[in-house]
Structure 1
Amino acid sequence: MDLVDTLVELIDLRSFSNLWFWIALAVMWSSASHWVLGVPIDMVYRAKRHGGQAEQDLEDVVRGNVNRLIYIMQVSGAWLLALVCFVLSGLLVLGFFYHVEFAQAAFLLAFPLSLVGVLTRATAGRIVRDGISGTELQQVLVRCRLYIQMIGTVSIFVTAMWGMYQNLQLGFLG
């Protein structure tokens, strides 16, 4: 096996039979559930345990991240929504109508993340609108993390089932 064969094998676009795809899926959901509104979850638990300065630090970081997110949505939210819808619909058509496996895999990664984005935006809006702070802020962040983990669990299950279906179909037809 020469260098070209090794590179082609490493950068194989048959995503569901590629180890790198599954590693990327695991890392993506691990990161998504660890960083809630841009705040590491351990910071939330530290504020819950110790209070005082840890709680103040949490509120400061959340306020900065929430204000940044709200500002981005006010300035370019419509354009971002249009771009995300365009990309997702393109991946959907390419993947499931034209049977491009790479587009299927990208859609199965991107669509659930877009749901996490909607959840994050809604949570940020609620924090600003209701002026949430202190213990209630910690509860909101933990609940948001739980919802992200639920989306991730369903996403991993659906992706695994679709990936197994694709690999079995390829095995029987190939």
Structure 2
Amino acid sequence: MDLTKTLFEVIDMRSFSNLWFWIMLAVIWSTASHWVLGVPFDMVARARRFGGQAETDLHDMVRINVNRMLHVAHVAGTVLLAALTFVLSSLVVLGFWYWVEFAQAVALIAVPMSLVGALSLRLARRIAAEAPQGDALRRRLARHRFATQAIGMVSIFVTAMFGMYRNLTVVPGF
């Protein structure tokens, strides 16, 4: 029995025709838009609505996550950027030059998510430098969430159009 043949029979590597790929895509973007800089967005809404301790909790969570992100970027940023660049360029080349469908599917998720990650790091640096409080902080987090949702909508649309194209042009049996 050939292990790789059995594995590929059990796990459908044709991503765009697989329901689990589309569920994963929705979960990834839903999670990305809910967690803004590692802070659940319901904390932002609660801080706006109730103030007081909820506002203090929001500031503490943002401070902790901003410091954590900036520390990781400072300590391992160059290595992580090099690894991310290698992985993303490998996925793009495998997917769109060699036409590997699994690499296409992963690239259509990973490339826009890397843009969201870059925007998150940029926001973390701005928050650390300017230390906004109260309404100014909530507005920045809400704008970042809106940008994440916009990137997600465009990404899902492009992925859906490309996935439909791939499904319509695939030769049955291959």
TM range (shorter): over 0.9
Shift of 1:7: 7.0
Structure 2: runs of 5+ lacking an equivalent: none
Q: What's the RMSD between the two structures over aligned residues?
A: 1.7
Measured in 1, the distance between the counterparts of 2:19 and 2:12 equals 10
Shift of 1:50: 0.4
The share of aligned pairs that are identical, in percent, is 60
In structure 1, the partner of 2:48 is: 48
- Counterparts of residues 96-111 of structure 1 (less than 5 Å): 96-111=96-111
Cα deviation, 1:86-112, whole Å, max 9, x if unaligned, reads: 000000000000010000001001000
**Aligned AA for 2:55?**
E
In structure 2, the partner of 1:68 is: 68
Measured in 2, the distance between the counterparts of 1:121 and 1:132 equals 16
Shift of 1:10: 5.0
State how many pairs are aligned: 170
Pair 25,10 (structure 1): closer, same or farther in 2 beyond 3 Å: farther
**Aligned AA for 2:48?**
K
Measured in 1, the distance between the counterparts of 2:10 and 2:129 equals 48
In structure 2, the partner of 1:15 is: 15
**1:89 counterpart = 2:93:** no
Moved over 6 A (4+): none
> What SS does the aligned partner of 2:132 have?
coil
Structure 1: runs of 5+ lacking an equivalent: none
Shift of 1:45: 0.2
Shift of 1:135: 1.1
> What SS does the aligned partner of 1:157 have?
helix
In structure 1, the partner of 2:31 is: 31
Q: Structure 2 length normalisation: TM-score?
A: 0.93
Q: Structure 1 length normalisation: TM-score?
A: 0.93
